[in-house]
């Protein structure tokens, strides 16, 4: 009896592996035929009612084939990998054989079990080029009476492995065919591009002789093809550019670079200079030794001329912009800064003082009785007085100070790093210098109002410029009320 059972098992095993041998030798004209044969054979060999070939990528489980086609799934259906038993196969990267999922620690609590109540599960990963491509799996809603054995596991692994080999070989064949197609296309494109390229193309020997040239090269240099093939490129290269060109070629021959690009000058057959953009790469033979150079030559003579003209225009424009910028911040009569310049500098100095904690003073100056001076001696004489007043402010101002004409007879002197005492000292010096102005119809004097802002300790608040200017204006008003020709200082400004 035992001998009979052993013989029966041997025959069954032989029959199963004969089926696998048939599968291995079969050739298929499509993936669908391959998958269908393996699924139907597997369902028979493992006594399982449902078989699936899946593709797994980026956490998605996609059905490539399913048998039979009446199980509620179809090729192309996709779902999250975590909703399938195959998530366990992928996470463990091995074959799984579960005869009773309800008591299996891996599948008993799995979402797929709760949804579909599949008790029997046999699956193997399909490996393609060292990575899991998908799975070959079979399922049944009933627990198996006889658990899967080692033969079942070995057989499904062989089947999954053979599917992977077919997929891998097909992908390799496709890549090879694609490479051959690209090579053929590229060869045709190169020949077409060489012959009909709008830029010059040439093959050049390692010694510099022209081997092949296209029509664009002959048009650029003015030589016929036969004339060029009889000479080398050195003979028509500008001597000032030849050493650089040859140095690049030596580096390529020494293996220090694969290509180079440079702008260089050639001589046209007619004697004139030609500017060209030269791009050179090297072709090697089957042993890796240098064979010849491929050169692309683009005539950029017109571009160079346009660049030179544009550069000159840019320089002229920059000069004009600079003059406009100066004019936009300069008072035309006195050449001092104007109100726009004051606003810019005042904002800068307020922020600087806020960072450094140093005081900032501002002096507003008004020429006394200037309307009477204008009415008495005329506006030209008044303009002379204003210009002389501006000269005094320029001499008085330090490097970082800013002298500005607000308008009419009113001026401002911005004094960074200056406290109240310093501001009063500057005002007194200014008054004395104004009294000493010569060449006027009659002596003039000035009234001034000063304001000093000292940042509060620990504060980063920056006041508006009008805050400082308004306090200085108020001090100037007091100076005028008190009789003019004097200075008043606003006290204790901080924010």
Q: Give the pLDDT mean for 320-338.
A: 86
CA 211, CA 206: separation in Å to the nearest integer?
A: 10
pLDDT at 492: 62
Asked which of 184-193, 308-317, 336-345, 380-389 is least confident by mean pLDDT, the reply is 184-193
434 vs 189, residue with greater confidence? 434
Question: Is residue 71 within 8 Å of residue 65, measured between CB atoms?
Answer: no
Reported as a single tens digit per residue, the pLDDT across 223-242 is: 999 999 999 999 999 999 99
**Could you tell me which CATH class the domain 330-494 is placed in?**
alpha beta
Helix (H) / strand (E) element for 281: namely strand 273-284
pLDDT at 495: 55
Percent of the chain residues past pLDDT 70, beyond the cut:
97
Read off the pLDDT band of 8 (50, 70, 90).
Answer: low
Q: What is the CATH number of domain 11-172?
A: 3.30.450.40
pLDDT at 494: 59
Helix (H) / strand (E) element for 186: namely helix 150-196
Which of helix, strand or coil describes residue 399?
A: coil
pLDDT at 185: 85
Read off the pLDDT band of 4 (50, 70, 90).
Answer: very low
Read off the pLDDT band of 1 (50, 70, 90).
Answer: very low
Reported as a single tens digit per residue, the pLDDT across 445-462 is: 999 999 999 998 777 788
Read off the pLDDT band of 5 (50, 70, 90).
Answer: low
**Angle at CA of residue 295, ends 292 and 300, nearest 5°:** 165
Q: Give the pLDDT mean for 189-218.
A: 88
pLDDT at 370: 95
Read off the pLDDT band of 20 (50, 70, 90).
Answer: confident
Percent of the chain residues past pLDDT 90, beyond the cut:
74
**Could you tell me which CATH class the domain 200-303 is placed in?**
alpha beta
Reported as a single tens digit per residue, the pLDDT across 235-272 is: 999 999 999 999 999 999 999 999 999 999 999 999 99
Reported as a single tens digit per residue, the pLDDT across 44-67 is: 999 999 999 999 999 999 999 999
Reported as a single tens digit per residue, the pLDDT across 123-166 is: 999 999 999 999 999 999 999 998 999 999 999 999 999 999 99
Helix (H) / strand (E) element for 5: namely helix 2-25
- The model carries a pTM of 0.43
CA 446, CA 409: separation in Å to the nearest integer?
A: 10
Q: How many CB atoms lie within 10 A of CB 306?
A: 11
Q: Give the pLDDT mean for 415-419.
A: 95
| Domain locations along the chain | 11-172, 200-303, 330-494
Residues 6+ apart with CB under 8 A from 242: 234
31 pLDDT higher than 80: yes
CA 414, CA 393: separation in Å to the nearest integer?
A: 11
User: Are 11-172 and 200-303 the same fold in CATH?
Assistant: yes
Average pLDDT, the chain: 91
């Amino acid at each position: 009896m035992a001998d009979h059972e052993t013989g029966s098992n041997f025959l069954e095993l032989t029959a199963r592996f004969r089926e696998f041998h048939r599968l291995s030798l079969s050739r298929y004209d499509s993936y669908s035929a391959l998958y269908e044969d393996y699924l139907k054979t597997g369902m028979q060999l493992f006594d399982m009612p449902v078989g699936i070939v899946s593709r797994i990528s980026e956490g998605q489980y996609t059905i490539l084939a399913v048998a039979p086609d009446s199980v509620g799934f179809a090729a192309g259906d996709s779902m999250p990998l975590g909703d399938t038993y195959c998530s366990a196969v992928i996470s463990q990267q091995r074959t799984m054989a579960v005869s009773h999922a309800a008591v299996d620690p891996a599948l008993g609590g799995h979402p797929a079990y709760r949804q579909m109540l599949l008790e029997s599960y046999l699956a193997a990963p399909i490996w393609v080029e060292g990575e899991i491509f998908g799975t070959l799996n079979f399922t049944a809603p009933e627990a198996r009476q006889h658990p899967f054995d080692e033969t079942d596991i070995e057989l499904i692994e062989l089947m999954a492995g053979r599917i992977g080999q077919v997929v891998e070989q097909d992908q390799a064949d496709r890549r090879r065919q694609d490479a051959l197609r690209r090579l053929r296309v590229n060869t045709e494109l190169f020949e077409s591009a060489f012959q009909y390229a709008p830029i010059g193309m040439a093959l050049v020997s390692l010694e510099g002789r022209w081997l092949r040239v296209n029509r664009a090269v002959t048009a650029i240099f003015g030589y016929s093809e036969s004339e060029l093939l009889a000479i080398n490129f050195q003979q028509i290269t500008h001597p000032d550019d030849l050493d650089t060109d040859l140095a690049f070629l030596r580096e390529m021959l020494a293996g220090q670079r694969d290509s180079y690009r440079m702008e260089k000058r050639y001589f046209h057959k007619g004697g004139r200079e030609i500017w060209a953009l030269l791009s050179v790469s090297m072709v090697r033979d089957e042993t890796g030794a240098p064979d010849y150079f491929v050169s692309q030559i683009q005539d950029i003579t017109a571009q160079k001329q346009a660049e030179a003209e544009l550069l000159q225009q840019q320089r002229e424009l920059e000069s004009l912009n600079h003059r406009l910028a100066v004019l936009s911040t300069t008072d035309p009569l006195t050449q001092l800064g104007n109100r726009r310049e004051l606003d810019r500098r005042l904002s800068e100095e307020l922020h600087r003082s806020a960072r450094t904690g140093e005081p900032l003073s501002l002096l507003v100056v008004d020429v006394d009785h200037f309307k009477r001076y204008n009415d008495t001696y005329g506006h030209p004489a008044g303009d002379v007085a204003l210009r002389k007043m501006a000269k005094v402010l320029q001499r008085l101002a330090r490097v970082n100070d800013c002298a500005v004409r607000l308008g009419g007879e009113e001026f401002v002197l911005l004094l960074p790093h200056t406290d109240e005492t310093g501001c009063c000292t500057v005002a007194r010096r200014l008054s004395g210098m104004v009294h000493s102005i010569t060449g006027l119809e009659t002596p003039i004097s000035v009234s001034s109002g000063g304001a000093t802002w000292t940042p509060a300790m620990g504060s980063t608040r920056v006041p508006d410029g009008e805050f400082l200017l308004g306090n200085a204006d108020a001090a100037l008003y007091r100076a005028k009320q008190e009789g003019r020709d004097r200075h008043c200082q606003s006290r204790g400004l901080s924010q």
